[in-house]
Every structure is written in C-alpha cells, then in structure tokens.
Chain A
Amino acid sequence: MTQKIALLGNPNTGKTSLFNRLTGSYAHVGNWSGVTVDKKVGKLHGNRGQLIDLPGIYDLDPLSADEAVVARFLMEDSFDGMINIIDASQLERNLQLTAQLLEIGKPIQIGLNMMDVARNRGTTIDAKQLATALGVDVFPIVARTGDGCEVLLSSIANKANTPLRIDYGPETEQAITTIIEQAGLLENERWMAVQYLAGNRVFVEYLETKAPSIIEVRKQLEHQLGRFIHAHITECRRNWAIAIRACSVVEEKSERKTWTDRIDAVVTHPILGLPIFFAVLYVLFHVTFNWIGAPLSDLLAAIIEGPISTGVVFILTQVGASGFIQDLLIDGVIAGVGGVLVFVPQIFVLFFFISFLEDSGYMARVAIVMDRFMQMVGLNGKSFIPMIIGFGCNVPGIMAARSVEEERERLVTIFISPFMSCSARLPIYAVFAGSFFASNQASIVLSLYILGIVLALLAAKVFSKVLAAEEATSLFLVEQPPYRVPQGLTLWRSTWQKGKGFVRKAGTFIFGGSVIIWLLAYTGPAGFDVNMNDSFLAMIGGLIAMLLIPLGFGTWQAGAALITGFLAKEVVVSTMAIIYAVNESELGRQLSGQFTPLSAYSFMAFVLLYVPCLATVAVIRREVGSAKWTWIASLYGLFVAYGISFLIYQTGQALGFS
C-alpha cells in the first residue's frame, strides 16, 4: 500500500525534524520561521508510503511564495492523510490552523511537539484529553530526538474523519449555504466556502471564476457583520481553540523571566544590537580562518601533498603508466581537486557556525536588528536571513528568499544574493589572504564579506527603484521564537548536509574541470606538451587579459582562472594550482611573483563580485521565472566587479600602496 501523507503545521514547529526522523532524510532544519520553502517528498521507513514535508503556515490563506506551495498542494494534489504538528507551547495559535485542517475532513493525526518548552513555561497538556476534545488521535512527540514519532504512523490512513463544523453564527452560516449552492460545491467541500469567505486568495480566485455571483454574498455578509469577515471567522475559531485548550491544559502557573528574555535584552539591545551582530560575524570568521579551520587545512594539505602524492607517483611508476597519464593525474587532478579539497575543514567550520546561528533562534533577531538599514534600500529585515544563508552557499540563500512576502522584495533579495560571499569563494581568499596578508587574514576576509554586503545593499537600492512600479507597501512581521541550545546531532547533520555538496562538487565539477583545464594547458596550436605560455589555455586567458590590466592582474593566468571560475568559484584555485603546476602550499609563493598585495586584494574583490556560478544562475532562473531578469541578475555583477576592482587598484596605487 502506498499512501501519501502530508505534514502540515505552523512554521518552526518541527515538521522537518519529524520528516527526517520518519524518512531517514537529512533535510535542512533551523529555529526560525521559513526554513522549509518547498515541498519535499520522502519515503517512509518500511515501505509504508510517502511523506510530504510542506512549508509552515499560520493560516491556509497564503501571503508569501512558500505558503502558496501549501495552498496549491491542498487544492491540486491528492493525498490520503495529514499529520498536523502542534507546538504545545503555542497551543491556541496552532489550534487555529488545526481547526482549518479538521474542516477539510481528511484522515488526520496530531503530533504534539515541544511539550518541554510548554512545561518550562508552566503549562502541562494532557494529550489524552486533547484527543477526546478534538476527536482525533494525538501523540506527544519530541521531533528533535525522535521520541514517539514512529507511533504517529500506526493508524493514520485507515481512520475516516468527519469534517469539523464550527458554528460561525447565523449570518455566516447562511452565506456558507448560499455559496455551496451557487458554486455547486459538494457536501464535504464546506471548508472551501469557509476559506472563500475568510478571503483565502486561492479560493477567491478558484470559486469566483466558477460562480461570479458569490461576490455579492461575500459583500453582503461583510455588511451584515459590520467588520472584516476574516476577523469574525478567526474569532470563532479562536473561541473554539480556547474551549479545546480549557479542557486539555492541566496546570498553569505564572512564569519567571526566561532565558530568552535575558538573551534578547542583550542581542536586540537598541544600541549594542548592531555591534554585537558584527562581532558575531567577526568571531565566526576568526574561528573559521585562524583558530580551527586554518590549522586543519594545513594538516590536510600536508597529507595530500605528502603521502597521497608520493603514493600515487609510486603506484603509477609501478604499473608503468605513461608520462602523459602521470602528468594528468599529478599536475591535473591532484593539483586541481586537491587544491580545493584542502579547504574542506574550513568550509565545514563555516557551515557549522551558520547551522548554529540558524538552530539557536538568532536569525529572527537579526531581522529586527537589520530592518531599518534594509528599509533604507527598499528591502525588509527578513531579507537579511537569506543573505546570511548565502554566506554558506548562494543557492539555498536564493531559495530562502521565498519567505519574503512582498514579491518585489523577494526579487531584489534574489538579485543581490550573488554578492554574498559564499563558501566556494573561501578557498580563493584563503590562498590570497594567506600569501599576501598572513598576519591579518580574518580582517581582510571580513572586509571582503562587508564589501559584498555594502554593494548588495547599494544594488538593492537601485533594483528597488527600478522595480517599484506600484505603490510599495511592505509586510514585516517576524515571529521571535524562544532561544534553544542547538543539539549536537542536529548541528552535525546540518553541517554535513551543507558541506557534503562541496565535497561532491570536488568529485564532479572540479574533477572534470581540472582534467579539461590541464588538457588545455598541455596542448596548444603546436601540438602536445607545449610550453604553457603557448597553450590553448594561455590563448583563452589572453583574450581578456588586456581588459584586466587596469585592475592590476592583466595576465593570461588570471584571465583563464576567472573564465573557468564560472563553473564553480573554487575552480579559480584549481586552475591556478594547475597553471603554476604546484601544490597548494607552494601556490602562495608562486603567486607572489605575479601579484602584489594590492592587486591580490583587487583580484579577490573581482572574484567576489564578477558573476554568479553556474548552479546559482540556474536557481535564479527557476526562482525568477524570466530569462530577461536572469540575464540581468547574472551579468550586472560583471560591471560592478570591474568598477570596484578598478577603483581599488587605481586608488591604492595613487595612495602609494603596492
């Protein structure tokens, strides 16, 4: 039997944690609203069917792109049952959504999560009494550790469920009946009529095209009620939820000042909030580069250059491989792939910290701290969350922009995301900053991140102006979840999930890229094994080298590295390692012949800004849905990069730096 079960609930209630538990998946989790922005299908353990993880919603009426995913799913897809996850510490609010789900009348089970948080606040809920009051099964679960999750699936699809009928009062009930008649709805589709009256935009569109006459019914009802219909309907649901709550909450005592209050008093402090945010970023980079990441990377480099390289050479000579194969493997693959792989520890440390920030609840606070600044450039504090995610990788950052309600703001957030310095740029900084600015690596790298942020904000200002065709209103309401101590296992999983992609890229893109680049450097118009300056690679790089002279790095090597860097930014390092035919630790020394500190900085700034990588362009295309805007979003960076690097190099020279 293959049944399809949908996971539904308020944002940040642990749906994805449960999904991971029940399907053995490792989908991305965090402690802020809007982590999941797309539906994800997973196979249940023991072939019991499919589980569909959906973005969190407060209401069936979608206000943002991720919420629209849910509304569309409920309208268009077929499914056999629902699991509704409820946050026990916010019972009343969660029950308002439960009411809407119960009205649908599909088989449903409830997972009661975060009982511990509720208990800390002095609220104890009796799951059995809640089940009796709701008339459906309720299971207490701890989604993060997996306690009680398996039980959830035991009886789901077998249980038919009669739709919940809340009495919305005589006028509204009359209107519901009229709409069911006029729109030709079935008896079990009463919920659609209720959603329509509540102003759910999906059903407004669907039902009004079916039966335009119902618009009058809605207008008349609003007049009769003398208030917004949705306010009235929400109130009825709230009263229902209060009644349910009253018979299932066992104990209530007043609470003390919580940890969340104490931490918030510091991190969202009116004056200290912003410096603290930048201090957090600085510590993050300092640890990544100086304290943990760099020593580990050096260790790994020593292993790759030492035992592994010698081992490969030994094996190759033993099997009598040709000189061509030996060169290809040593100078091409090991130099190219190894040059990038040595940065795996640093990237994992970075991802660990991003996961920590996501899981702690700090992200929602960043939205507050940054809102004023974001507003100045026509954006929203919420846009800053995708931007921080973008520090890890631009692809999930762009996806995360779906939780920004305003379409204009979402588009602008996507456009500026490539300026967020992702982990793939990190190997480039590590090589250049390590060689030219060894004593203050972390500050140099932080300055690049800040350059990216500042230019992103300026670009946002421009894009907001261009796109602001209609009256620009902006929705800003960010839920502030209580802080929690991130769990070791969850943290490790999120870190591994994000870091895995980087390792996989090394095995595919960078491997293939290295082979091609080495071949291009090995061959030339004159044949094979040419002097590298006469190779095809030198010709390709030479095409743009002229243009790069004013920026301080007008060599064919730099040109070739930048062109190949479009595949993935790490390829810049691979290409250089191949060109200079050295291992990573000597690369720096080789570069000091070709670059000065000033031109190195100019080069780093150029790499940060010039063009999003292939994967990012693909996701921009999908999220923006327009070829024209994809072109603009992908290419404007080139001009910005040229301008900025030009300024850095020329001003630097004028000021007497070298």
Chain B
Amino acid sequence: MTDLAMIPIDQPVVMTDLNKIEDRLRRRLLALGFYEGCPVVVKRRASFHGPLTIEQRDHHQMIAIRRSDAKNIGVFLP
C-alpha cells in the first residue's frame, strides 16, 4: 500500500483507498469511473508539485487532480 503521488510515471497500479479524500472529490472520481479496485496509471506530473494527469486504464478516461489529493489516495502495486 502506498499513495498515488508516490507512483512513478507509467507504472500501472490499482486504486485501493478513497476514504481519506474530501467527499465531493470522491463523488466526482466515482462519477468519472475511478473507484476502489480500478486500474490507473499516472501519465504526467506538472512542475512545482502541480497536478497529476491520471488515466483510468479500462476506458482511457483522463483527468487531472492535485498532488495533495493524490497523496490521500491509496494504491496497490500489483
């Protein structure tokens, strides 16, 4: 178990914990198809600890979230 902000770019991981993030962000993530157990990959990281671009590998949904939020998302390296 580690968090999403720690994962190297292009390393496939599975989201395991969405309990620590803020309620509205969790709702948005769920609505966009990011749930506990879904496969994701970090595509890019903006400079100065800026947002991370994340892709849901099942349906290639791409989103950007803040690094501070990514720190609170638990992931598992398969």
Contacts and interface: CB of A to CB of B under 8 A. Distances in A.
Interface of A: 58-59, 61, 63, 89-93, 96-97, 121, 199, 228, 230-231, 234-235, 238, 255, 260-261, 264-265, 268, 270-271, 273-274, 364, 367-369, 371-372, 375, 381, 405, 473, 475-482
Contacts of A58: 28, 31-32
Contact of B64 (A255, A368, A475): A368
Given A364-B64, A481-B62, 9 more contacts: A92-B33, A97-B31, A231-B26, A371-B64, A475-B22, A476-B66, A477-B25, A478-B64, A480-B64
B76 interface: no
Contacts of A369: 46, 50
Contact of A480 (B30, B63, B69): B63
B53 A371 contact: no
A487 to B, nearest CB: 22
- Most A CB contacts (10 A, CB to CB) among B18, B60, B63 go to B60
Contact of A475 (B28, B48, B61, B62): B28
Nearest to B37: A235
Nearest to A477: B28
Contacts of A255: 60
A480 B53 contact: yes
A268 B44 contact: yes
Contacts of B36: 231
A268 B9 CA distance: 14
A350 to B, nearest CB: 27
The bracket for how many chain B residues form the interface is 20 to 34
Contacts of B44: 264-265, 268, 270
28 contacts: A58-B28, A97-B31, A231-B26, A234-B35, A235-B35, A238-B33, A255-B60, A261-B43, A264-B44, A268-B53, A270-B47, A273-B46, A364-B64, A369-B46, A371-B46, A371-B64, A371-B66, A372-B46, A381-B51, A475-B25, A475-B28, A476-B65, A477-B65, A478-B64, A479-B32, A479-B61, A480-B62, A480-B64
Contacts of A477: 25, 28-29, 32, 63-65
Interface string B56-72: 00111111111001000
B32 A371 contact: no
| Closest A-B pairs by Cβ, 8 of them | A58-B31, A480-B62, A270-B47, A59-B31, A372-B50, A93-B33, A234-B30, A478-B64
Given A231-B35, A477-B64, A264 B53 contact: yes
A372 B49 contact: yes
B2 to A, nearest CB: 21
Nearest to B33: A93
B52 to A, nearest CB: 9
Nearest to B44: A268
Contacts of B59: 90-93
Contacts, number: 114
Contacts of B33: 90, 92-93, 96, 238
Contacts of B61: 90, 93, 479
B27 A63 contact: yes
B35 A479 contact: no
A258 B28 CA distance: 25
Contacts of A238: 33, 35
Given A63-B27, A93-B33, A273 B66 contact: no
B51 A231 contact: no
A476 B52 CA distance: 11
A368 B63 contact: no
A223 to B, nearest CB: 15
B48 A372 contact: yes
A91 B56 CA distance: 13
Contact of A476 (B27, B32, B51): B51
A225 to B, nearest CB: 13
A270 B64 contact: no
B63 A271 contact: no
Contacts of A121: 60
Contacts of B48: 372
B45 to A, nearest CB: 6
- Most A CB contacts (10 A, CB to CB) among B22, B28, B29, B36 go to B28
B30 A368 contact: no
Contacts of A478: 51, 63-64
Contacts of A371: 46, 50-51, 64, 66
A230 B30 contact: yes
A615 to B, nearest CB: 33
B28 to A, nearest CB: 5
Nearest to B56: A93
B24 A368 contact: no
A451 to B, nearest CB: 23
A121 B69 CA distance: 29
A43 B55 CA distance: 39
A32 to B, nearest CB: 12
A59 B32 CA distance: 9
A536 to B, nearest CB: 55
A231 B46 contact: no
A58 B63 CA distance: 13
A462 B48 CA distance: 23
